[in-house]
Amino acid sequence: MRGVSSDPRTLNERVAAGAAYGKISLLMGQNSRVDPARLIGRSPQSLRPFEAAALVGKWIALEIYTPERAPLRRIEAVGDSVEECIRRLAERGLDPRRFEFTPFLGPY
């Protein structure tokens, strides 16, 4: 029968086994192969479609615009929550008060 696996393990067991052998990356969501660390410093507009799709539903931190700083709009943190983004910024020695946090809804 087409589409039916003869593997007696449950789907979760098969996914876990695949992840253990590096066949499946669970960094940003099921079936995503995008490493969030590689997106740091990139403009949201410069993301490739598959990168943007992997970020949908995640929170991103962008430096707040001021005329004095006039930053490029670059992703400085990615997380499942604002708190996670703040923690990631602090780990890098960045002041979270200089950033805005927004859910990434997609490239359009």
pLDDT of 20:
42
DSSP string, 87-107: HHHHHTT--GGGEEEEE----
The residue extents of the domains of the chain are 34-103
Is 99 a residue whose pLDDT tops 90?
yes
| Cα distances (Å, whole numbers) of residue 23 to 16, 17, 30, 56, 65 | 10, 9, 12, 22, 40
| 35-81 pLDDT, tens digit each | 888 999 998 888 999 999 889 999 999 988 877 766 578 899 999 99
